[in-house]
Amino acid sequence: MVSSLDDTKRLAIATKLADMKVLQNLLINNEQRFIEDCTDDDIRDRIQNMLEDDRKNLGVLDTVIVQYGIKGEPTETTHKRVELQELIESSDVSLFEKVQEHELLKHKQVMAGLLVHKAAQVVGADIEAAIAPLNTVNFENRAHQEQLKGILEILGVRELTGKEPLQGLWGRVQDAVAALTGVVGSVVTRTDDEMSIRELLLMDHTKADILFVEVLNASEPQKIQEYFGQLYKDIKVHGLAEEQVLYPAVRPYYEHMQEIFEQTDEVILMLDEIKPLDPAASEFKAKIEQLRTAVRTHINQEENDIFPKLRDNFSHEQQKQMATEFKTAKSKLQSSMADSKT
C-alpha cells in the first residue's frame, strides 16, 4: 500500500527551490534600491537589465516549482538571510559594500540552482524534465555574477582612489559572459516570464511519460512507490487543473470536449484504484500499463486536436495568460493535496 506520496530526497529539492524563490525576491528588491541610489548611468542601466532578467526569472522559478509538483518551505537559514537585509537598506553603508553583499547573494543563488540541477540527475529523470527551465535562471545568474564583478571593480576603485578605473573593463566582462555562453552551449535563454499553455502542457506530458518508464523499470517496491507517488500527484493535479482552466476555454472551438472530460475523469478514477495497491503485488504494474495506455490516448488527442485549437483561436498573450491561470490552479490543488495528508 502506498503510505507516503513524498520521498525525502524530493522534499529536500522542494525545500531548495523554495529557498531560491525567497532569494530571487531579495535580489529583485536589492536591484530596485541600487537603481534608486546609483548616479552612474552606465552602471544603473546594467543593473536595470539584471532587474528585468531577475523579474522574468522569478516567473520561471514559479513555473519550475509548480511543474516539480512538491511543495517546500524555505529553511530557517534563508529566513535569517532575509532578516540580514538591513545592510542593503542602511544609509551608512557605501554602494560598493551593498553591491558586494548582493554579489554574494547572487553567488548563493547560482550554487542553489546548480545543486538542484545536479541533485535532479541522481534522483530521477522526471525531476530533470520538470526543472528544465531552471537552466535559464542558472545561466543568467552566472552571467550576472560577471557583470557584478565589473561593477564592483569600478565602484571599488572610485571608493579607494577617487579616480576612474582603466578602460576596457566592460570588454573583459563581456568576454567572460560570452565564454559562459559557449560553455552552456544548448541553453536558450527565455525572453518571456511565462510559457504558453501549450509549452506547460507539453512539459507535463513529457514528465508523465518519464514517470511511467521509471515506475515500470523499477524493481524495488520503495522506488516503485516513490515514482508512482509522484505520478499520482502530477496526473491528478494536471487533469483537475485542465478541467478548471483549459477545457472551458477551448470548448467553444472543439466539439469533442465532453469526450476529453470523460477521459480525464477515467484516468483519475484509475489512479485512485491503483493507489491502495501494494507496489510489490503482481497486478500493480499491469494496472500501471493500463493507466499508461489511457493517459497516452488522452495526451495524443489533446496534442493532435486541442493544441491546434489553441494555436488558431488564442493569441500568444492569451496563451500566456491561460498558462498563468493553469499554474495557479495547479498550485492550489497541490497545496490542497498536501494539506489533506496533514
Last residue of a domain, one of 152, 184, 216: 184
Pull the grid cell for residue 195: 510559457
Give the integer Cα–Cα distance in Å for 42 and 170: 10
What is the domain count for the chain? Answer: 2
Q: 48 lies in a domain?
A: yes
Question: Do 38 and 162 sit in the same domain of this protein?
Answer: yes
Same domain flag for 167 and 42: yes
Last residue of a domain, one of 117, 151, 184: 184
Same domain membership, residue 224 and residue 326: yes
Q: 161 is in which domain, residue-wise?
A: 8-184
| Residues 298, 185: Cα–Cα separation, whole Å | 35
Judge whether 190 lies within some domain. Answer: no
* Nearest one of 36, 13, 23 to 144, comparing CA atoms: 23
Are 96 and 159 members of one domain?
A: yes
The domain boundary residue, chosen from 150, 184, 218: 184
**Cα-Cα-Cα-Cα dihedral sign, residues 210, 211, 215, 218:** positive
Does residue 170 share a domain with residue 206?
A: no
Q: Is residue 162 part of a domain?
A: yes
Answer whether residue 57 is part of any domain: yes
Report whether 333 contacts 70 (CB < 8 A). Answer: no
User: 133 lies in a domain?
Assistant: yes
How do the pLDDT tens digits run along the chain, 342 residues long? 343 445 788 999 999 999 999 999 999 999 999 999 888 898 999 999 999 999 999 999 999 999 999 989 999 888 877 766 766 777 778 889 999 999 999 999 999 999 999 999 888 899 988 998 898 888 889 889 888 988 898 899 888 998 887 655 555 555 545 544 444 433 444 555 678 899 999 999 999 999 999 999 999 999 999 999 999 999 999 999 999 999 999 999 999 999 999 999 999 999 999 999 999 998 999 999 999 999 999 999 999 999 999 999 999 999 999 999 999 999 999 988 877 765
206 shares a domain with 162: no
* Continuous H helices in the chain: 8-37, 41-68, 76-83, 86-89, 95-123, 125-130, 134-161, 169-184, 197-217, 221-241, 247-250, 257-274, 282-301, 307-313, 316-340
Q: Do 166 and 26 reside in the same domain of the chain?
A: yes
In a domain, 146, yes or no: yes
Question: Residue 116 has what pLDDT?
Answer: 94
The whole-number pLDDT of residue 150 equals 86
Residues 312 and 242 in one domain: yes
34 and 150 inside one domain: yes
For residues 173 and 296, the answer to whether their CB atoms sit within 8 Å is no
Task: Classify residue 1: in a domain, yes or no.
Answer: no
CA of 160: how far to CAs of 94, 147, 172, in Å? Answer: 12, 20, 21
- Structure confidence at residue 6 (pLDDT): 53
CA dihedral over 151, 153, 154, 159, signed as positive or negative: positive
| pLDDT value for 186 | 38
Which residue type occupies 120?
A
Q: Residue 264 has which C-alpha cell? A: 480525464
Query: Do 23 and 136 lie in a common domain?
Result: yes
Contact (Cβ atoms closer than 8 angstroms) between residue 298 and residue 263: yes
> Does 49 share its domain with 98?
yes
Distance CA 51, CA 193 (A): 13
DSSP 8-class letter at 12: H
Specify the CATH number for the domain of residue 105: 1.20.1260.10
Assigned domain for 192 exists: no
Give dist(CA 54, CA 76) in Å, integer: 23
85 and 163 share a domain?
Answer: yes
